[in-house]
Structure 1
């Protein structure tokens, strides 16, 4: 009999779409193992991104989420509950835990102790730094570090084939699924006069950017599921400090980073200290001239681009999705689940 897996994931313009993208990747892996999947998400744009014929997608109102999924928990009797929600409401987590019976509960990118103690496992690929760390505390298993990042399954192949070219001709710009601070247009505007470069600007699924800067060397494309492949075609990337940065570093694409928020700045600073990217800081505070200068500096120096490429290659192997899939399968197959007090 197929195992039943319920996934709660939220995204949107202000939250971004990284959570949704990585849970869709995880779902694809779990579906290939013969499991039945049921998504619960908060906005129509997330429904559109998640919709596939092989699983179910339901939209919930965040304030009423538990009441809306309660009956499905009772009806489905799931084997596994995955929750990937930034600052997930603690009462929601407690209610789900109390009502879910023998289902294993797994949280993603969660640091709060009061939330983690409710889970059977916590996967912190982003918050855990570069090194792999696995520990168990009070019945909860923790998986920390870049080895548990849920990256696109194509990343490993692209990592093996990417090469830094002597001449820098193509720049890919991407600031995630929503880009709430409008950094993509700032970066493109900074390169308006860089006619010697081909600029590919990728807007996200939840992006509200309508304006496009017209120039022969600048091309805009709407959301693509093939962003890693686009990155692998680039000689240089300009990205935020989220999942796209991890993908670029893993592939080996020399990158300039404009962080959207403080926690991205922390991530980008860590990479920059390893020589794996060039971090300009919070994008709101960066001038267009600084972006242009950084691009000109890296584009004109094969040595600098190759140095960034080599420094990043050892930090992320791109196999985290497979690792996490195996962890989840092990959890579901482990029938002797100890009861945990809530």
Structure 2
């Protein structure tokens, strides 16, 4: 009998789309193992992103999400309940924990002790820092660090083939699925005079940016499923401090970071200290001239770009999605065994 997995994940313009992207990646892996998947999300743009013919997607209003999830727990009797919601309401988590019976509860990117104590497993690929660690604490299993990042398999493949070219020709700009600070427009404006470079600006699925710039060396794309390929073709990338930063570091693309929010700035600073990227700080505080100067510095120096490439390669191996899939399968199998033993 197929195991049943319920996934609650929220995204959108203010929350960003990183949670949704990584849960869709994980779902594809779990689907291959013969599981039935049921998504619960909060925004129409997330429904569109998660759409897939082989699983179910329900849009819920956050005010009554608890009721629908509770009802479906009772009806479906899932083996696994996954929650990937930024700063998820603690009362919501407590009620779900009380309702989920023998189902295993897994939280992603959760640091609050009172939330973690409710879970069987907590996976913090981003919040866990750069070094991998596994520990058991008060009945909760924790998996920390970049070994547990949910990156697409393509990033591992491009990691094995990417090379730093002597001449810098192409810059790819990707500043998140929603770009709430409008940093894509700032970055494009800063690079208007760089006629010697080809600029590709990629707007995310939930981005509100629509304008195009009439310049021969600048191209816009409004969302694409081909971002791994595009990043692998870049000589320099300009990214935010979310999932795309981990992706370019995994591949080895020399990158400049404009963080969208404070927690991204913390992440980017850690990588910058390792020499794995340039971090200019919170993007809405960065002057266009400083971004232009950073791009010129990187594009002019093959040795600097190669140094950043080499410094980042050892930090992310790109195998996290396989590790996390195996963790969840083991968790469900142990649940099934305990259920039979009762």
Structures share fold, TM-score greater than 0.5: yes
Q: Secondary structure at the match of 1:127?
A: coil
CA deviation after TM superposition for structure 1 residue 336, in Å: 7.1
CA deviation after TM superposition for structure 1 residue 229, in Å: 1.1
The equivalent residue for 1:106 is 106
The equivalent residue for 1:272 is 272
Is the 8 Å Cα contact of residues 239 and 245 (structure 2) preserved in structure 1?
A: yes
CA deviation after TM superposition for structure 1 residue 63, in Å: 1.5
The equivalent residue for 1:241 is 241
RMSD: 1.1
Q: Secondary structure at the match of 2:63?
A: helix
Q: Report how many residues are paired.
A: 339
The equivalent residue for 2:329 is 329
The equivalent residue for 2:70 is 70
The equivalent residue for 2:316 is 316
The equivalent residue for 1:291 is 291
List runs of 5+ in structure 2 lacking aligned partners.
none
The equivalent residue for 2:177 is 177
1:66-215 alignment, distance < 5 Å: 66-215=66-215
Q: Secondary structure at the match of 2:275?
A: coil
Is the 8 Å Cα contact of residues 134 and 143 (structure 1) preserved in structure 2?
A: yes
The equivalent residue for 2:40 is 40
Which deviates further from its counterpart, 128-137 or 23-32?
A: 128-137
CA distance in 2, matches of 1:37, 1:336: 17
The equivalent residue for 2:306 is 306
List runs of 5+ in structure 1 lacking aligned partners.
none
CA distance in 2, matches of 1:216, 1:249: 29
CA displacement 1:34-67 (0-9 Å, x = unmatched): 0000000000000000001010000001111110
Moved over 4 A (4+): 336-339
The equivalent residue for 2:4 is 4
Is the 8 Å Cα contact of residues 102 and 337 (structure 1) preserved in structure 2?
A: no
CA distance in 2, matches of 1:161, 1:200: 21
Is the 8 Å Cα contact of residues 19 and 84 (structure 2) preserved in structure 1?
A: yes
Is the 8 Å Cα contact of residues 79 and 335 (structure 2) preserved in structure 1?
A: no
CA deviation after TM superposition for structure 1 residue 71, in Å: 1.6
CA deviation after TM superposition for structure 1 residue 153, in Å: 1.3
CA displacement 1:224-275 (0-9 Å, x = unmatched): 1121111000000000000000000000000000111111001000000000
1:211-222 alignment, distance < 5 Å: 211-222=211-222
Which deviates further from its counterpart, 329-338 or 244-253?
A: 329-338
CA distance in 2, matches of 1:160, 1:58: 38
CA displacement 1:83-142 (0-9 Å, x = unmatched): 000000111111111111110000000000110000000000001111110001111000
CA distance in 1, matches of 2:270, 2:224: 28
CA distance in 1, matches of 2:130, 2:103: 30
Is the 8 Å Cα contact of residues 121 and 140 (structure 2) preserved in structure 1?
A: yes
CA distance in 2, matches of 1:310, 1:113: 36
CA deviation after TM superposition for structure 1 residue 335, in Å: 3.0
The equivalent residue for 2:281 is 281
CA distance in 2, matches of 1:234, 1:250: 13
CA distance in 1, matches of 2:115, 2:142: 13
